[in-house]
């Protein structure tokens, strides 16, 4: 048993719901007790969907157990088919349904419905949401895009424009709506048609058309990779391996799709949105070497680490993911930055790692937003799980060149503006630039001096070393250092004093340490 | 559809024709009660023994509370826990040891059963006894079920309070004592405490208490008043301890609050003049505050989808005090005895429904096109997209709505969706 307060991912059947809800004419019958319908509100509230997810729950209760839950499943399946008349159905069990072992697959077969019924085996006690979404999409593709016997693979007719599918976007995906639009536009600019986007917006018939395309664009490996591999094996379609987040990755992605489409390589284009110029403009100089901690799903975390270092000029001080299935990619990326990846789904581990790394900016999920708030650090969201404000009304992709513009604005915003940072150093004793004033771009108001001490955490943070005694004037001098580097200065000075066996930290010690650690 | 008839209530009110349905229920399970119970009992921790789904539900229902070091968590069962029983108990002991070690402020620990823990027959009551022996006197460990197979939404509170009843000390005094049962917002509880004092009922305690060390006593001299309609099991357990129930409608609206306080006043033989003196001004104030809402809401039709068991008292308040017209009042469970006073006031011509087949019920909603539909968050936006006005029901649990000074807030919850409709021009 694992003690859990916050979970980065839901159970695997929620992943299956994300795929079913993304599609247009598929219905999911879920063997589940009363109460599991809570997941509906993720779609209707957080993503603000105008329709209920296409999911029917058997809603078994205690009195049904030991009697005929199997009959209940069968009658629920039949009446759902009768009412919704879907083109295909998914059947499976939630975590409790799995325990009562009713075999939805066999029961669905016996019901002999006049549409394809796809059974889902989603082990709730080993796997999680993204895996469930990936497995569900794979099963749908495998069932609906299978080769008819003796059907030759269609040759691409002469002169037809190259065609691809876009794989992996789902309901409740972080910015999936706008990423698909942005990448579709980018492909079109390169003379490549998009045949099918799936699962997002696809019908069962669209899934059957997947093999007609020349290759696949895989946007979200967590969800689409298994299906992409099967399509490669079965239908000989290659798929892209670059996730186009950031300017550099987008350029590489364009080169990759042109190669897969059989088009000539483009000369190096400077047309890459505004990020490159914004990043070179002098106001951005202050971003150089800013310490950033990155955590999220594997795809977004690895992409953000690259963008943060190569395109913003930040220093990466932490990289991690909750996606255990993709841990290897994150470990490799972290190693390239001389870091050890943090692979965990326990937010307390993440909180501890952030506190120890002392970053100036955190890029993470909804949970890191709260951790950063507690630690008084700026934060931007780069990955699910996210809350309602990260399903925005305005166009806000993460991918492509417009996505890079969006990243620029949203990552720089939480930092103190360059000029303001300069003024804080210059007039640090001025009452209007004092620590207690909030950064001006965050509106009027007082800065919360100390994060309010919450109730003790379930686990204490790292053991503090021996606290050195600070002389009054050294303590006063420390207060003159801008708040966003003060913690680091305090720690460095104490470490410096400890290494030299000094009992007290004086003004001299403070400046000796500053010289020693000069950044 | 299985229809089983219940014995007729003795109250003698007309037996209305009740729609009883089973099928998909679009409701929360009892675990959701933890979201407000853990704020109420300030030194209690609620440990759900369940699956990732349970943790995910709590996270979805608790919204931002999750970020405030909440006093609840889930011991998520993994595959190896499902292999054998002994192992699961050892694992649970380890989790509890770790938890109590980190949180010395916890004085009461609830082990909360879930669907998965019940299906694998993990005996949490024995686990609670074992752990209680180990950790007493510092920490008391109790157990109840909040599973979806056993409980709907607010029934989780019922099971939790019922688990507290055996822990209550025996009442030693001869004097009669009033026990108000059901978690209320602190501000409401304080208002009621002041009103009871003015009425002349001196000894009043509340269940649940704000602190696990201040459990109210119970015995044959205890008369209890239910502040919430969903407390059938708790009432039964209190009756077994010798306490006697004071039948009353629930304290929603000006009329409901007066009737509720009045039932207690009569049971305690309070001076009627003192009662009028204590309540008249507050009641008049509440009625004045309701008047503008009445002008706006009178004649509007309302459809309740089942959620919390508050539906019948709410329908009574909205129809009698604001002049609204209930089309159908759905409730997950209809406790005939506890709702007897409400049903008398509501009138017998209102269509009641118990349980749910959500698709059929939505057919009825679409056919009757009510002016406002009270429903859960999974249904609200889809119904709005169909052009209907909705009021999402969970807010009726998370907002202080009981008592005189919250009557207009309660009316406001139903009026606001209309207000918004009239403002928007896009």
Q: What is the pLDDT of residues A14-37, one digit of tens each?
A: 999 999 999 999 999 999 999 999
Q: How far apart are CA B155 and CA B145, in angstroms?
A: 9
Sign of CA dihedral A409, A411, A415, A419: negative
Q: At what angle do helices A221-235 and A129-144 cross, to 10 degrees?
A: 20
B349-368 residue pLDDT tens:
899 999 999 999 999 999 99
Q: Residue B354: phi, psi to the nearest 5?
A: -125, 135
> If DSSP codes are grouped into helix, strand and coil, which group holds residue B393?
coil
Contact B75 A52 (CB under 8 A): no
The size of chain B, in residues, is 426
Place of tokens 């629920």: A76
Q: What are phi and psi of B143, to 5 degrees?
A: -145, 145
Q: Whose CA is closest to A235, among A207, A256, A193, A259?
A: A207
Please tell me the predicted confidence (pLDDT) of residue A426. Answer: 63
**What are A356's two structure tokens?**
């120890």
Q: Given pLDDT bands bounded at 50, 70 and 90, which one contains residue A476? A: confident
Q: How far apart are CA A370 and CA A364, in angstroms?
A: 10
The residue in chain A having the minimum alpha-carbon distance to the alpha carbon of residue B73 is A5
> In Å, what is the CA distance from A260 to each residue of A167, A168, A227, A248, A433?
15, 18, 18, 19, 55
Q: Taking CB atoms and an 8 Å cutoff, what residues of chain A touch B359?
A: 79, 83
Q: Which range, of A57-71, A197-211, A286-300, B76-90, averages the lowest pLDDT? A: B76-90
Comparing C-alpha atoms, which of B218, B137, B213 is closest to residue B181?
B218
Give the H or E element holding residue B404: none
Strands A2-4 and B72-76, how do they pair? Answer: antiparallel
* Burial state string for B20-40 with b = 16 or more CB within 10 A and e = fewer than 16: bbbbbbbbbbbbbbbbbbbbb
Residues of B in contact with A50 (CB under 8 A): 381-382, 384-385
Picking from A431, A291, A423, the residue whose alpha carbon sits closest to that of residue A362 is A291
H helix or E strand, kind and range, residue A99: helix A95-100
CA A172 to CA A28: how far, in whole Å? Answer: 16
Rounded to whole angstroms, the Cα distance separating A456 from B102 reads: 8
Of the candidates B56, B98, B103, which has its C-beta nearest A10's C-beta? Answer: B56
Q: Are residues A17 and A166 in contact, defined by beta-carbon separation less than 8 angstroms?
A: no
Rg over CA atoms, chain B: 22
Is pLDDT above 50 for A452?
no
Closest alpha carbon to B352 in B327, B320, B335, B318? B327
Helices B232-240 and B155-164 pack at an angle, to 10 degrees, of 20
Task: Provide, rounded to the nearest whole percent, the portion of chain A with pLDDT above 70.
Answer: 87
| Peptide bond before residue B37 is cis, with ω within 30 degrees of 0 | no
Mark whether A345 is an active-site residue. Answer: no
The percent of residues in chain B predicted with pLDDT above 90, rounded, is: 87
DSSP letters for A401-451: HHHHHHHHHHHHTTSPPHHHHHHHHHTTTSGGGSTTBPPGGG-SSB--SS-
Of A50, A99, A456, which has the smallest distance from its Cβ to B103's Cβ?
A456
Question: Taking CB atoms and an 8 Å cutoff, what residues of chain A touch B354?
Answer: none
How many Å apart are CA B81 and CA A125, to the nearest integer?
9
Q: Which of A65-79, A146-160, B131-145 has the lowest average pLDDT?
A: A146-160
Nearest to A165 by CA among A127, A208, A194, A135: A194
Given its phi and psi angles, is residue A143 left (phi above 0), alpha (psi -120 to 50 degrees) or beta? alpha
> How far apart are the C-alpha atoms of B113 and B110, rounded to whole Å?
9
Tell me: the pLDDT tens digits for A216-263?
999 999 999 999 999 999 999 999 999 999 999 999 999 999 999 999
Residues 6+ away with beta carbon under 8 Å from A422: A286
Answer yes or no: do B150 and A61 touch at CB < 8 A: yes
Which residues 361-400 on chain B approach chain A with CB closer than 8 angstroms? Answer: 376-382, 384-385
Are A42 and B120 within 8 A, CB to CB? no
Tell me what pLDDT residue A431 has: 58
Give just the sign of the alpha carbon dihedral A36, A38, A44, A48: negative
Instruction: Render pLDDT for A482-514 as a digit per residue (tens, 0 to 9).
Output: 777 788 888 889 989 988 988 899 988 988 888
Is there a contact between B385 and B49 (Cβ–Cβ < 8 Å)? no
**CA–CA separation, B190 and B78 (whole Å):** 44
Asked if residue A460 has pLDDT above 80, the reply is no
Give the integer Cα–Cα distance in Å for B264 and B200: 11
The token pair that represents A490 in the structure block: 């305090």
| Three-class DSSP category at A56 | strand
Closest CA to A351 of A328, A335, A370, A329: A370
Would you say residue A302 has pLDDT above 50? Answer: yes
Query: What sign for the dihedral angle of Cα B323, B326, B329, B334?
Result: positive
pLDDT of B397: 92
Residue A33: which of B52, B115, B378 has the nearest Cβ?
B115
Distance CA B48, CA B32 (A): 11
Under DSSP, is residue B197 helix (H, G, I), strand (E, B) or coil?
A: helix
A248 to chain B, closest Cα gap in Å: 36
Of residues A135, A172, A144, A140, the one with CA closest to residue A384? A172
Nearest chain A Cα distance for residue B260, angstroms: 32
A168 conformational bin, left if phi > 0, alpha if psi -120 to 50, beta if neither: left
Q: What is the DSSP string of A7-45?
A: -SS--HHHHHHHHHHHSSSEEEEEE-BTTGGGGHHIIII
Inter-chain CB proximity B116 and A45 less than 8 Å = no
Neighbour count for residue A105 (Cβ, 10 Å)? 16
Answer whether A333's CB lies under 8 Å from A305's CB: yes
B27 vs A34, A65, A95: nearest CB: A34
pLDDT for position A451: 40
Confidence grade of residue A269 (pLDDT, cut at 50, 70, 90): low
Q: What are the tens digits of pLDDT across the range B171-203?
A: 988 899 999 999 999 999 999 999 999 999 999
pLDDT digits (tens, 9 = 90+) for B116-151: 999 999 999 999 999 999 999 999 999 999 999 999
Q: Does B19 contact A at CB distance below 8 Å? A: no
Rounded Cα gap, residues B129 and B133, in angstroms = 6
Chain A residues touching B52 at Cβ < 8 A: 4, 7, 9-11, 95, 124, 128
Question: Environment class of residue A28 by beta-carbon count within 10 Å: exposed (0-12), middle (13-18) or buried (19+)?
Answer: buried
* Closest in A1, A59, A126 to B92, CB measured: A1
Quote the CA–CA distance of A431 and A411 in Å, as a whole number: 28
Residue range A297-323: average pLDDT? 97
**A300 has pLDDT over 70:** yes
Q: By CB neighbour count within 10 A (0-12 exposed, 13-18 middle, 19+ buried), where does A476 fall?
A: exposed
State the DSSP code for B32.
G
**Mean pLDDT computed over every residue of chain A:** 89
Test A10 with B31 for CB contact under 8 angstroms. no
Backbone φ, ψ for residue A2 (5° rounding): -120, 125
Give residue-wise pLDDT tens across range B383-411: 999 999 999 999 999 899 999 999 999 99
* Nearest-10 crossing angle of helices B358-368, B377-385: 40
Rounded CA gap, A70 and A76, in Å?
10
Tens digits of per-residue pLDDT, B241-263?
Answer: 999 999 999 999 999 999 999 99
């Amino acid at each position: 048993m694992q003690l859990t307060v916050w979970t980065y991912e839901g159970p695997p059947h929620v992943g299956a719901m994300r795929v079913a809800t993304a599609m247009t004419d598929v219905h999911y019958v879920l063997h589940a007790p009363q109460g599991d319908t809570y997941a509906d509100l993720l779609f209707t509230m957080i993503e603000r969907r105008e329709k209920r997810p296409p999911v029917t729950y058997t809603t078994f209760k205690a009195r049904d157990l030991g009697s005929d839950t199997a009959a209940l499943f069968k009658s629920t399946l039949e009446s759902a088919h009768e009412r919704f008349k879907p083109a295909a159905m998914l059947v499976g069990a939630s975590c409790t349904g799995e325990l009562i072992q009713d075999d939805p697959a066999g029961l669905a077969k016996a019901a002999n419905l006049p549409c394809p019924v796809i059974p889902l085996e989603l082990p709730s006690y080993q796997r999680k949401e993204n895996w469930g979404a990936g497995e569900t999409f794979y099963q749908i593709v495998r069932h609906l895009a299978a080769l008819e016997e003796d059907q030759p693979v269609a040759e691409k007719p002469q002169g037809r424009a190259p065609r691809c599918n876009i794989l992996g976007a789902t309901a409740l995906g972080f910015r999936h709506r706008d990423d698909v639009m942005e990448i579709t536009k980018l492909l079109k600019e390169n003379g490549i048609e998009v045949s099918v986007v799936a699962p997002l917006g696809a019908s069962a018939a669209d899934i059957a058309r997947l093999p007609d395309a020349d290759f696949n664009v895989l946007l979200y490996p967590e969800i689409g990779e298994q299906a992409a591999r099967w399509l490669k094996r079965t239908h000989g379609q290659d798929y892209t391996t670059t996730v186009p987040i950031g300017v550099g990755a987008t350029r590489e992605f364009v080169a990759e799709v042109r190669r897969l489409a059989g088009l000539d390589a483009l000369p190096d284009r400077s047309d890459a949105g505004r990020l490159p110029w914004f990043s070179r403009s002098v106001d951005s100089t202050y971003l150089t070497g800013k310490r950033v901690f990155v955590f999220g799903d594997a795809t977004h975390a690895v992409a953000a680490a690259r963008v943060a270092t190569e395109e913003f000029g930040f220093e990466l001080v932490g990289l991690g993911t909750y996606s255990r299935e993709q841990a290897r990619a994150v470990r490799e990326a972290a190693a390239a930055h001389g870091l050890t990846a943090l692979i965990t789904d326990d937010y307390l581990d993440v909180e501890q790692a952030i506190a120890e790394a002392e970053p100036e900016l955190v890029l993470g999920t909804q949970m890191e937003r709260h951790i950063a708030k507690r630690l008084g650090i700026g934060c931007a969201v780069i990955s699910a799980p996210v809350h309602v404000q990260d399903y925005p009304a305005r166009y806000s992709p993460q991918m492509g060149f417009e996505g890079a513009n969006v990243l620029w604005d949203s990552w720089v915003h939480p930092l103190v503006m360059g000029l303001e940072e300069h003024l804080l150093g210059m007039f640090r004793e001025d009452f209007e630039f004092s620590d207690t004033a909030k950064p001006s771009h965050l509106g009027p108001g007082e800065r919360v001096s100390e994060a309010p001490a919450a109730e003790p955490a379930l686990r204490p943070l790292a053991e503090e070393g021996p606290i050195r005694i600070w002389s009054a004037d050294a303590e006063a001098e420390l207060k003159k250092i801008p708040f966003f580097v003060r913690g680091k200065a305090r720690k460095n000075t104490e470490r410096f004093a400890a290494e030299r066996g000094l009992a007290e930290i004086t003004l001299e010690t403070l400046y000796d340490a500053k010289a020693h650690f000069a950044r | 559809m299985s229809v089983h008839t219940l014995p007729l209530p003795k109250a003698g009110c007309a037996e209305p024709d009740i729609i009883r349905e089973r099928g998909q229920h679009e409701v929360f399970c009892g675990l959701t009660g933890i979201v407000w119970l853990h704020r109420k009992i300030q030194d209690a921790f609620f440990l759900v023994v369940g699956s990732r789904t349970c943790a995910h539900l709590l996270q979805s229902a608790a919204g931002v509370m999750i970020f405030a070091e909440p006093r609840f968590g889930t011991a998520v069962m993994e595959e190896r826990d499902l292999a054998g029983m002994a192992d699961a108990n050892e694992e649970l002991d380890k989790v509890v040891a770790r938890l109590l070690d980190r949180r010395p402020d916890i004085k009461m620990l609830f082990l909360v059963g879930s669907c998965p823990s019940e299906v694998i027959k993990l005996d949490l009551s024995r686990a609670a006894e074992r752990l209680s022996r180990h950790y007493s006197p510092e920490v008391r460990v109790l157990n109840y079920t909040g599973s979806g197979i056993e409980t709907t939404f607010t029934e989780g509170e019922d099971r939790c309070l019922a688990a507290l009843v055996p822990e209550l000390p025996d009442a030693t005094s001869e004097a009669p004592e009033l026990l108000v049962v059901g978690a209320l917002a602190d501000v409401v509880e304080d208002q009621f405490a002041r009103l009871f004092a003015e009425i002349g009922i001196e000894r009043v305690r509340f269940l649940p208490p704000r602190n696990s060390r201040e459990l109210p006593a119970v015995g044959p001299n205890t008369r209890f008043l239910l502040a919430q309609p969903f407390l059938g099991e708790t009432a039964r357990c209190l009756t077994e301890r010798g306490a006697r129930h004071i039948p009353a409608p629930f304290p929603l609206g000006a009329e409901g609050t007066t009737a509720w306080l009045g039932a207690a006043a009569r049971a305690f033989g309070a001076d009627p003049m003192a009662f009028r003196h204590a309540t008249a001004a507050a009641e008049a104030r509440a009625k004045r505050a309701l008047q503008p809402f009445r002008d706006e809401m009178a004649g509007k039709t309302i459809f309740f989808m089942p959620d919390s068991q508050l539906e019948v008292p709410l329908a009574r308040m909205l129809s009698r005090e604001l002049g609204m017209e209930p089309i159908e009042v759905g409730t997950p469970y209809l406790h005939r005895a506890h709702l007897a006073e409400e049903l008398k006031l509501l009138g017998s011509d209102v269509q009641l429904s118990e349980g749910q087949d959500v698709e059929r019920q939505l057919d009825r909603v679409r056919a009757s096109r009510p002016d406002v539909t009270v429903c859960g968050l999974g249904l609200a936006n889809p119904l709005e997209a169909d052009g209907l006005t909705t009021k999402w029901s969970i807010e009726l649990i998370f907002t202080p709505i009981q008592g005189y000074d919250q009557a207009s807030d309660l009316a406001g919850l139903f009026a606001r969706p209309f207000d918004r409709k009239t403002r928007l021009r896009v």
